[in-house]
Amino acid sequence: MTSLNAKEEDEYYIAFDYVPDNQDIRNKYRQLKQLVEKSEAKIIILDMICFEYFILSFDKLVSWTGTGKTDKIKMRKDILAAIEDHRIDLSKIKNQTTMQYLSGFKKYSTERVMKSLVGEFTQNEKWSVKGQLMGECWYKDCCVSEHLDSLRCGKPEVEEGSEKMRMLIQSEEVQRVIGEVII
Ligand SMILES: [Zn+2]
């Protein structure tokens, strides 16, 4: 942002992964806010928890990926219900197994939990959300897996790639954060 040559008539949006239980990110967020306050340009910070949170909270995640991990499905439910102020409110987690899963993290942060749990649901490379590009089942017509005999895709009820992307973007959580920006 320091190198941004802001034009007055433009609006700028910064998508920021705000994870308050990570000290380093908290510091960076503070710096960014100061820069935004000093700037003349119209800059809006979209404070998301992290990209993985969008994926995890997407209501079609379980059915689309076709995961059979019932324990992780339960944990996902517990954790999503406990999100408050950009973090997992541990006092809201009543389930022992979920609590054990959370306490198993070496360097615990909400973002790490989201990343790791999303990884459990998207192990099929066609549903992956790691790296630069999302797996092809997210945006291409289903199903494109080359390993048809070990198919780990839930075969979504909508098959068209662009339709799937539209559903993800229009999902509740994504809309809450970026809805007014892109629609
Ligand atoms: Zn597929």
Does the CA dihedral 136-154-72-69 come out positive or negative?
negative
Q: Ligand 1 centre and the CA of 128: distance in Å?
A: 11
Q: Ligand 1 centre and the CA of 74: distance in Å?
A: 23
Residue ranges per structural domain of the chain: 11-48, 51-70+106-174
Q: Ligand 1 centre and the CA of 16: distance in Å?
A: 30
DSSP 85: T
pLDDT at position 58 is 93
pLDDT at position 152 is 65
Angle at 46 between CA 93 and CA 122, to 5 degrees: 55
Phi, psi of 134, rounded to the nearest 5 degrees: -75, 160
pLDDT at position 13 is 79
What number of other Cβ atoms are within 10 A of residue 65's Cβ?
A: 26
CB 20 within 8 A of CB 49: no
Q: Ligand 1 centre and the CA of 66: distance in Å?
A: 9
Q: Ligand 1 centre and the CA of 141: distance in Å?
A: 7
| Number of helices followed by number of strands (H, E) in the chain | 9, 4
Q: Which residues contact 178 (CB under 8 A, 6 or more apart)?
A: 15, 46, 48, 169
pLDDT at position 158 is 87
pLDDT, averaged in runs of 10, over the chain (183 residues): 72 80 86 85 82 91 91 96 92 96 94 94 89 88 67 79 90 76 49
pLDDT at position 146 is 62
Residue 47 three-state SS: strand
